Amino acid sequence: MRSVVQRVLEAQVYTEGELISSIGPGLLVLLGVEVGDSLKDSQYMADKIAKLRIFEDNDGKMNLSVRDVSGQVMVVSQFTLLGDARGQNRPGFTQAEDPEKANELYLACCERLEEKWSIIPAKGKFRSHMQVKLINDGPVTLLLDSKKSF
């Protein structure tokens, strides 16, 4: 499972011209589910998102988590994070999980955030064309991989 985690001042998701979710200061997480991912990967990702210390403390050091700053979290499914463009200019998506299983693991990650960490994530709309608007704060952007391949 891969994610792009961005510290944001705000983020919104639109589909078909309609605002479907929004957050204030916190984290925008773009989440991609890879072939072979399991519930363990979803749990790892949720725990990492909840504990990631990328907010500044009183000394200006990144030492606080989204929970420490009472921030919000938005999780948007994005299969294109598994795109492979190493050999060609047109990416291949063979490493992206089947949509049904991907949605199951995406929702499991969101549920883990809520049940274990008391973070109720805003969500995108799975398998829809979305427009994501954000104001990146910093900018601070990190890449996470449950298999720790980078």
- Which residues are marked as active site? 78-80
Averaged pLDDT for residues 114-131: 96
Residue 42 pLDDT level (bands cut at 50, 70, 90)? very high
Indicate if the pLDDT at residue 150 is higher than 90.
no
All domains of the chain in start order, with CATH: 2-139 (3.50.80.10)
Sign of the CA dihedral running 115, 125, 11, 6: positive
Residue 149 pLDDT level (bands cut at 50, 70, 90)? confident
Write the burial class of residue 86 (CB in 10 Å: 0-12 exposed, 13-18 middle, 19+ buried): exposed
> The tokens of 73 are what?
């979290």
Averaged pLDDT for residues 129-134: 97
pLDDT tens digits along 65-79: 999 999 999 999 999
